[in-house]
Amino acid sequence: MMKRLFFSTCMVFMSASMIGAQNLPTNPNPGKCYVKCITKDVFSDVTETIEVHPAYQTLEVVPATYKTVEERVLVKEASKRYTYVPAVYETVDISYSTGGGAEKFTVIPAQFGSRTQSYEAYPKTSGWEYKQLEDCQSLNKEDCVAACYVERPAQFQEVSITTLVKDASITRANIPAQTRTYKKQVLKTPARTVEEVIPAVYSTIKRQVVDQPARTVSTTVPATTQTITRTILKSKGGITSWEEIDCKLLDPNVLPIFYELASARLTSESKRTIDDTLLPILNSKNVNIEIMSHTDSRGNDEYNMALSQQRANSVVNYLVSKGISRSRLAAKGYGETRLVNRCSNGVKCSESEHKRNRRTEFRVINN
């Protein structure tokens, strides 16, 4: 928690001016200054460890693990196969009789002879015949025709006559049987079926089986604690007192702390200066101190203001680390607004001249 500090104007009194004043230090020393110090509440920081998150259980699922096993499986069942073996035949010659048992008739044809016989083919005839005379001078053709009585003899013709010498007859003869053969296939081995057992077929397969079943693992997560520092009221303030102080400490006093360019880091030498200068005052007097830091003019004005504040904070933080209460310290950065020489913006200066402006000052203030 940040505490806002409120500072009143330092009340400085010269010994000559304290004559007749009310509530002023008694028996003041000539040439000394006094600051009115009102004791403040005294706080102390205590460190405590608190539980910011309770202990709890976490559950983690451990998945099942598998292993590969080999297994012999049936891929084809046993069966039977029947093979048909056909019958086996052999060829034999079979004799048989054909024909026979009957008579054979032979026809003896008739025998003929021949003779010649004369026949009157045309009988004997006679009659008148007319004949045309040649060289007939008559215009009537009939005058030139002569009538002749003609006798014609009979005409004969020789005819061959077949005579029967012996009539047709039949001869009888028994017809003998003929022996022949034919091919015959006779059964040598009858047809049958042959039974053959076909064995089952197996195969080896690989499959995954559960090796370890899934499970949960419980883990106790311890409580989370956090160390905090809190400020408690150690003693109540409000008591007014006067602290004698060297008058020059009321004005800004330069600490011989010079920073590097664009840096707020305190060097070892700077820390020794703070130890020798500020710590004795703060440890011996119940006074407050204001730390005032400055930069040179180089760089952006806003940046320089922020840098100077960081430099003042560096001094305050260091004093706190040495056990000084932060409530007794004030840090103020002035940037480049309080240059101690002519080296303002645009003015060409040496590095040593700029270095004088990169300073830190302190003064005692009323608390």
CB 3 within 8 A of CB 334: no
CB 63 within 8 A of CB 214: yes
Q: Which of 361, 316, 315 is nearest to 334 (CA)?
A: 361
**One-letter amino acid identity for 119?**
Y
Q: Give the span between the Cα atoms of 55 and 227, in whole angstroms.
A: 17
261: left (phi over 0), alpha (psi -120 to 50) or beta: beta
Q: Give the span between the Cα atoms of 291 and 313, in whole angstroms.
A: 8
pLDDT at position 248: 61
Parallel, antiparallel or unpaired: strands 288-293 and 329-333: parallel
Q: Which of 61, 49, 54, 52 is nearest to 221 (CA)?
A: 54
Q: Give the span between the Cα atoms of 275 and 323, in whole angstroms.
A: 12
Q: Give the span between the Cα atoms of 73 and 272, in whole angstroms.
A: 90
pLDDT at position 14: 37
pLDDT at position 23: 67
Residue 233 dihedral angles phi and psi, to the nearest 5° = -75, 115
Tens-binned pLDDT, residue by residue, of the chain (367 aa): 333 333 333 333 333 343 334 467 767 777 667 666 655 566 667 888 888 889 888 888 989 898 899 989 888 998 998 999 999 988 988 888 776 667 777 888 888 888 888 878 888 888 777 777 677 777 776 767 776 777 888 888 888 888 888 888 888 877 787 888 888 988 889 999 999 899 989 999 988 888 889 888 888 989 888 888 887 776 665 555 566 555 666 667 777 887 777 788 888 898 999 999 999 988 888 788 999 999 889 889 999 999 999 999 999 999 999 999 898 899 999 999 999 999 999 899 998 898 888 888 888 886 5
How buried is 293 (Cβ within 10 angstroms: 0-12 exposed, 13-18 middle, 19+ buried)? buried
pLDDT at position 158: 84
Residues found in the chain: 367
pLDDT at position 344: 92
Q: Which letter does DSSP use for residue 121 in this model?
A: E
Q: Give the span between the Cα atoms of 140 and 151, in whole angstroms.
A: 29
CB 130 within 8 A of CB 149: no
Cβ-based neighbour number of residue 332 at 10 Å:
14
pLDDT at position 244: 58
CB 354 within 8 A of CB 343: yes
pLDDT at position 329: 92
Q: Give the span between the Cα atoms of 84 and 194, in whole angstroms.
A: 6
Task: Check the CA dihedral 352-356-359-363 and report its sign.
Answer: positive
Q: Which of 172, 194, 319 is nearest to 257 (CA)?
A: 319
* Domains contained in the chain, CATH given: 56-71+199-220 (no CATH), 95-183 (no CATH), 247-365 (3.30.1330.60)
Q: Give the span between the Cα atoms of 328 and 5, in whole angstroms.
A: 9
Q: How far is CA 326 from CA 139, 140, 212, 239, 283, in A?
A: 208, 209, 63, 20, 13
Task: Check the CA dihedral 233-239-242-244 and report its sign.
Answer: negative
